[in-house]
Chain A
């Protein structure tokens, strides 16, 4: 069990929670994640560790599905039943001069520790931060402290450029060159960013978030096809070079339990009443 010692709402759908997890914090490296089970009936879900202190880890949870909402119901002082990690591999920080980083929605959370590591190596960072609207943007101030250039896009134009991150990237790629890119966000976004960057001979790292159960390479639920090879995101990733990832297959795998998710949400509505 792990106690929640701090919690704050980053926006109306996204919470930041800090939990006691000394052993995980000790061995943690940027890029790694934990698997969390809120209570004995809950699913196991993977969440990126955004920050650590000596005794705690910080997670950012977007309350989109039933299980993430259950975590959202927990408050300071509550215990999370199961937290296991740190899982997955540390990210590889490339030896480059200028990185183009792209975050979509809550993807900003897993991107943050990566950019922090780039920043510490003195690498120039250009960030495109996209969200549905102004109120969905997270970590803007934290990024400001470590990035050299920040461009914001929102689907509804409530802040920054009205449009998708790709609209902004197109404009940037016409004017500038970058040594490497990182994109983290919804699968559809990563798919389009990778495709666009490829046209400019720019390689893109992505962080994949398939459905996971154990997180130790045992179940195979988290598999992804890259080139013609199968990888397990939990033990081979979660970060991969995105150029040859089969995003369409992954999107299908991600959505496979959509109907069941709906049934769970109905349950949530009933419980809330």
Chain B
């Protein structure tokens, strides 16, 4: 797939990969061996029938290809862009053993984008029973789709003023255009799903009120993992030290890259340290670059091969001149009048493998100090505590994740899935959870009524 050139794209927020033309898609699809026992399907968290949809591309029947994907994945144009394919379908593709694997993500994106512009008919028979969904991220959206298809009257409640969860406020425009998120949401609106913005469940409306006053038969919580994890080092609350969520929200949700037309400001300065090695860190670093920072470096406490980010994001970041400074662990921020100007890092070395299968970083007691104008802490997120604090009977574990059994929480009729249950994970897993939960929700409601 062609990309916008690095020298050009660091000055804009337009999407980096340009997507396949039809010819390119046909050519790529023609490489698929259509294996009898495809390895890619079980490697997909929602088991998209990959060889089937690629066959449809070969037959130039994009409509059919779209329908095949849509059975298992209701956000194909999004997942085609953001799934960690190299760890899933493409990582399993037999062609990858000798050559490069089929670019399944790029093909999914191609078919998904085709589907966005086409109108498929879905017949829904209303059953006049209400359900409520908390959060409009991928978990909530896919749950809404599944429940609506079963005939339920579905309302999604979202705390923010725009819908999509991390797809909206977290993942930047240059990786996932917001127009696509909006189109996916509009599709759900067309199916009759109701969307309520500015509704913080637990505050604006409680879980009890959703049942007793709004007459919902069941509730799905897909409130995600929004609470930023802290480094817990001195100086972390100095001005100029951002959590990635704040930094990305200012740009993606509040459009501060368009300041002062949009009036939410942001500033990065010339030298920006991004702490962490996941997708969030890559997004923050590349956003900082686009905001005009001269030097952006990733401070990561392990080595290059341990970076948890998508492979494509890492290589795009390298092409854009992001400087990876490895085996460094920030231990303090220094500042002048409470405004950050340095980060002190301990040099690390790698030790034994830990539970995650990666080598454990060990401090060496040698330190270096780097001059910075701002820092972006991107070391993970935990579930936001608002719902559990205001909903006393809702059981959570020591990390604040909602405890579920077959998606059922400790409160009868309240189900949950996505990052709020798993901890920060992926779009596809959240989407899969929303879909699977619908089976149990439907069962619960029907049993209660019979």
Contact = CB atoms under 8 A, between A and B. Distances in A.
A235 B161 contact: no
Contacts of B242: 220
B408 to A, nearest CB: 25
Interface stretch (A6-14, A119-127, A133-141, A249-257): A249-257
Given A84-B198, A217-B386, A256-B339, A263 B204 contact: no
Contacts of B245: 218-220
A216 B237 CA distance: 18
Interface string A214-252: 111111110111000010000100000000001011011
A220 B243 contact: yes
B159 interface: yes
A216 to B, nearest CB: 5
Interface stretch (B91-99, B141-149, B246-254, B414-422): B246-254
Interface string B170-205: 000000000000000000000000000111100111
A257 B265 contact: yes
Given A221-B246, A260-B259, A43 B267 contact: no
Contacts of B254: 43-44, 213
B384 interface: yes
Chain A contact patch, size range: 35 or more
A263 B240 CA distance: 19
Contact of B205 (A27, A44, A67, A217): A27
Nearest to B255: A41
A260 B258 CA distance: 13
A152 interface: no
A256 B204 contact: no
A185 interface: no
B327 to A, nearest CB: 26
A219 to B, nearest CB: 4
Nearest to A34: B198
B403 interface: no
Interface in A103-120: none
Interface in A175-209: none
B260 A249 contact: no
Contact residues of A: prevailing secondary structure: mixed
A264 interface: yes
Nearest to A258: B265
Contacts of A217: 226-227, 384-386
Nearest to B236: A230
Nearest to B250: A213
A42 interface: yes
A84 B339 contact: no
Nearest to A216: B159
A63 to B, nearest CB: 14
Contacts of B324: none
B338 interface: yes
Interface in B213-246: 226-228, 230, 236-240, 242-243, 245-246
Contacts of B205: 23, 27
Interface string B356-395: 0000000000000000000000000000111001000000
A257 B384 CA distance: 27
Interface string B257-278: 0011111110100000000000
B206 A27 contact: yes
Contacts of B253: 213
A85 interface: yes
A24 interface: yes
Contacts of A214: 159-160, 226, 249
A25 B255 CA distance: 30
Contacts of B259: 260, 263
Contact of B265 (A82, A83, A86, A261): A261
Contacts of B206: 27
Q: Which of A82, A219, A248 has the most CB of B within 10 A?
A: A219
Contacts of B230: 230
B337 interface: yes
A170 interface: no
A87 interface: yes
A42 B261 CA distance: 9
A67 B254 CA distance: 13
Contact of A87 (B200, B246, B337): B200
B263 A67 contact: yes
A249 B204 contact: no
A75 to B, nearest CB: 20
Nearest to B338: A252
A143 interface: no
A97 interface: no
Contacts of A37: 161
Contacts of B169: 218
A55 interface: no
B183 to A, nearest CB: 19
Contact of A252 (B239, B255, B263, B267): B239
Q: Which of B159, B205, B255 has the most CB of A within 10 A?
A: B159
A241 B261 CA distance: 38
Contact of B240 (A41, A248, A256): A256
Contacts of B385: 217, 235
Given A82-B198, A230-B237, A253-B338, A43 B264 contact: yes
A218 B260 contact: no
B16 to A, nearest CB: 25
Contacts of A253: 237, 239, 338
B230 to A, nearest CB: 6
Given A37-B161, A43-B264, A85 B384 contact: no
A144 interface: no
B214 to A, nearest CB: 11
28 contacts: A23-B199, A41-B261, A44-B264, A70-B263, A82-B198, A84-B161, A85-B200, A213-B246, A213-B250, A214-B160, A214-B249, A217-B226, A217-B384, A218-B228, A220-B242, A220-B243, A225-B237, A235-B384, A246-B237, A248-B338, A252-B339, A253-B239, A256-B267, A257-B265, A260-B265, A263-B265, A264-B263, A267-B260
Interface of A: 23-24, 27, 37, 41-44, 66-67, 70, 81-87, 213-221, 223-225, 230, 235, 246, 248-249, 251-253, 256-257, 260-261, 263-264, 267
Given A44-B161, A220-B228, A252-B239, 7 more contacts: A24-B204, A82-B198, A84-B200, A213-B246, A219-B228, A235-B386, A263-B265
The 5 closest A-B pairs by CB, nearest first: A252-B338, A260-B265, A219-B246, A218-B226, A84-B198
